[in-house]
Amino acid sequence: MRTKIVAGNWKMNLTRDESLQLVADIGGEIQNHDLNGNRVMVFPPFINVGYVMDSGNRNQQIEVGAQNLHQAESGAYTGEVAASMLTNIGVNSVILGHSERREYFHEDDDLLKEKVDAALKNGLEVVFCFGEKLFERQAGNHFAIVEQQLKKALFHLSEKDWEKIILAYEPVWAIGTGMTATPEQAQEMHAFIRKTLTKGYSEKLAESISILYGGSVKPNNAEEIFGKTDVDGGLIGGASLKAADFAAIIKALS
């Protein structure tokens, strides 16, 4: 049985005090809700990760992760954060490959392969993001692009390594473009991803991996999206910054 997950990526938002208030409010919204084995994760900006993790008002069901890391163990990389720095303060999970990192910071699959290796070497769980752009989908290359991203960054891993991998498909073409991905399109791509894992590894591994959908999940569409066979939850952006909305999405998993 695959684990279902709702993960909130806070991106570059919220001060320390706002972060503490949000995690407390989310906890309050779900305190009487049985997660039934599902996971809830939040990913604050680096500067707030420790505060949120140590907050006395955090519902302990809410896991706290980091939004990125550098591939090197240490060194002259001003402004960067190493995997060991994250694990030292108790972080267990990290997002890698987010579409914004690929677009604005020019992270490619070769670099992400190094980052994945650094994370796993330090015992971190990786939420690995990937997905096609609008021109790639319009050209009919969306399956090929997704397959390439997975293979180049992840297919060197052993089956044991995959126990620390969560996949998050982002239809970049439907984010901020005015276009909308349907639940059926989400299912189609998630099924393709699982088929790709089956071909590269095994059906057993493919069926064990949680694949999250990262395409503008909101309270009014979460239940339908999460109801699709191969969708195991969502990586949530804007809606994760509103406690009531995020809680409604969490409850849509059940």
Using one digit for the tens of pLDDT, what is the confidence trace for 15-46? 999 999 999 999 999 999 999 999 999 999 99
182 or 176, which is more confident: 182
Binned at pLDDT 50, 70 and 90, residue 180 comes out as: confident
What's the confidence (pLDDT) of residue 254? 75
- The answer to whether the pTM exceeds 0.95 is yes
Q: Counting Cβ atoms within 10 Å, is residue 160 exposed (0-12), middle (13-18) or buried (19+)?
A: exposed
Using one digit for the tens of pLDDT, what is the confidence trace for 125-176? 999 999 999 999 999 999 999 999 999 999 999 999 999 999 999 999 888 7
Mean pLDDT of all residues in 71-83: 98
The residues carrying an active-site annotation are: 98, 170
Task: Examine the pLDDT at 4 and tell me if it is beyond 90.
Answer: yes
What's the confidence (pLDDT) of residue 215? 87
What's the confidence (pLDDT) of residue 176? 72
Burial 132-143 (b: 16+ CB within 10 A, else e): bbeebbeeeebb
| CATH number for the domain running over 5-251 | 3.20.20.70
What's the confidence (pLDDT) of residue 178? 67
Using one digit for the tens of pLDDT, what is the confidence trace for 200-212? 999 999 999 999 9
Task: Examine the pLDDT at 244 and tell me if it is beyond 90.
Answer: yes
Angle, helices 142-154 vs 183-200, to 10°: value is 40
Name the one residue in this structure whose structure tokens are 């790709």: 196
CA 162/CA 207 separation, integer angstroms: 12
Name the one residue in this structure whose structure tokens are 């989400």: 186
What's the confidence (pLDDT) of residue 216? 84
CA 26/CA 251 separation, integer angstroms: 12
Domain boundaries, the chain: 5-251
